[in-house]
Structure formats: C-alpha cells, structure tokens
Copies of this chain bind each other. A is one copy, B any other.
C-alpha cells in the first residue's frame, strides 16, 4: 500500500509512551498514513474508561520517534484521545490505533483495559479504532507477530471497515509468526473474572497496606470465543459495541417486577 500522507493516524496506548509496544505499533502505522502520537507519560494500565476531571492535564512534546509528531500526556488513555482531537489535531483522525498492549485484553479484560478504552473513546466519536494486545506481559516482548497480523487487520479496517463505528479488540498469542494459525473473528468469552487475593503488608510505620494480585478464571472457552482462539494459536478479533443494555432482561423485568 502506498503511503498516504493525507490520512492521519492517532496512536496511543496505556503502557505509556516509552513502552516497546507503542513503538512497534507506530512502525506499522507509518505504512498507512501520517502518524501522530498522544500517549500517557507513565503506565496507565487497568485505567478502564477513566477520564481526568478533577485535575489539569499536561501535554509535552516527545522527541523520541524518528520523524513522528508525538506528545506525552499526564492523563489516562481516554484523556489522550480527547486531547489529541481537541488540542493537537484540531480534527478527528482517520484511524485510531491503541497498543500494542503488553498483556492480554481478551474476554472481560475489555472492561478494565485502558488500551481498549482509548479505542472505545475514538469509536464513540465515529473514528475507526482498533486496540491491539499481545498476550505477553514482558516489557521486552517480541512484537513481530503482532506487527505482522496487525498490518493485515489495519488494511482490512481501512478498506472494508466495521459496521456502526464499532471498535475491534485484537489479541495476539505469544507465538512466533510461523506458529500462528491465522486470524479468527470471535465473541468475547463470558463467565470469566479476576479472583483477587490482596497481598496484605506493613509499611515501615507499622500500618497495613494492600497490593492487588489475582488469578484469571474462565468457564467459557467454546470455539467461538477469543480465549479459545488464543489458546489454539489464533489471533482473536472481537468487534466491540457501545451498548451495554441486557435486552432480554427488559421483558423479564417488565413481566416480573412490581413497580
């Protein structure tokens, strides 16, 4: 594909502007248009769809990516997208890419993920948007398979699109390119959750503090789910909507509740 200088691609993430994953994403994004980066100045993992309303935000030009306009933002991933549109681009970008996240955002992680929330924010503003994650939490993870399949997905997004400005949640298994069997369109695995057990510790003053830790459990791994795809060597692509209404419950409540 020839480089289109008119197409503006906003790149952000939630691991922060210095993470390896965003560099890898910028590298492939540059093949599709002019890249502008607005990303958190520090790790903002698990920030969900948080926005900053009680504090001012800072935006600092970052000269770290060869030939790419980039800004570090003091806010959350969603703040980055909002600020990018209003104060950096002064228009909507043609595409918003978020990631490549260091770690899985499959299944219910879509709700906690700052990576996905940034893409969600863009899609709410009718900007085609994709969140990319590699199922490998290592800071120096090998991003080449995610780049390889990411390229294919970006190309399809730009040529074929997704209905109703829904976003895509893309997860890539921790495998070398040649071991990955392909790309599967999936649904979000359900009945999965993080089961917490907080570490209880004492500070030097003898006061307790708690540190979140937990295990991811799932009971839904049928072949149409993202978790199944990842565990069987496929890249998973889940189309994600903005409507959280449980439609089937409306009739139940109207029939059974006495209001």
Indicate if the CB atoms of B239 and A245 lie closer than 8 Å.
Answer: yes
- Contacting residues of chain A (216-248) with chain B, CB-CB under 8 angstroms: 237-248
Is A2 an interface position by the 8 A CB rule? no
A169 → chain B closest CB, angstroms: 8
Binary per-residue interface labels of chain A (14-51) against chain B in the complex, 1 for a CB within 8 Å, 0 otherwise: 00000000000000000000000000000101111111
Is A212 an interface position by the 8 A CB rule? yes
Is A144 an interface position by the 8 A CB rule? no
Interface residue SS majority, chain A: mixed
Most B C-beta atoms less than 10 A away, residue of A125, A188, A243, A256: A243
Copies, count: 2
Most B C-beta atoms less than 10 A away, residue of A162, A193, A208, A246: A246
Contact of A246 among B78, B117, B241, B246 (CB under 8 A): B241
Instruction: Give the distance in Å from the alpha carbon of A249 to the alpha carbon of B198 in the complex.
Output: 38
Instruction: Give the distance in Å from the alpha carbon of A160 to the alpha carbon of B255 in the complex.
Output: 11
Indicate if the CB atoms of A54 and B49 lie closer than 8 Å.
Answer: no
Is A183 an interface position by the 8 A CB rule? yes
Stretch at the interface among A62-70, A83-91, A94-102: A83-91
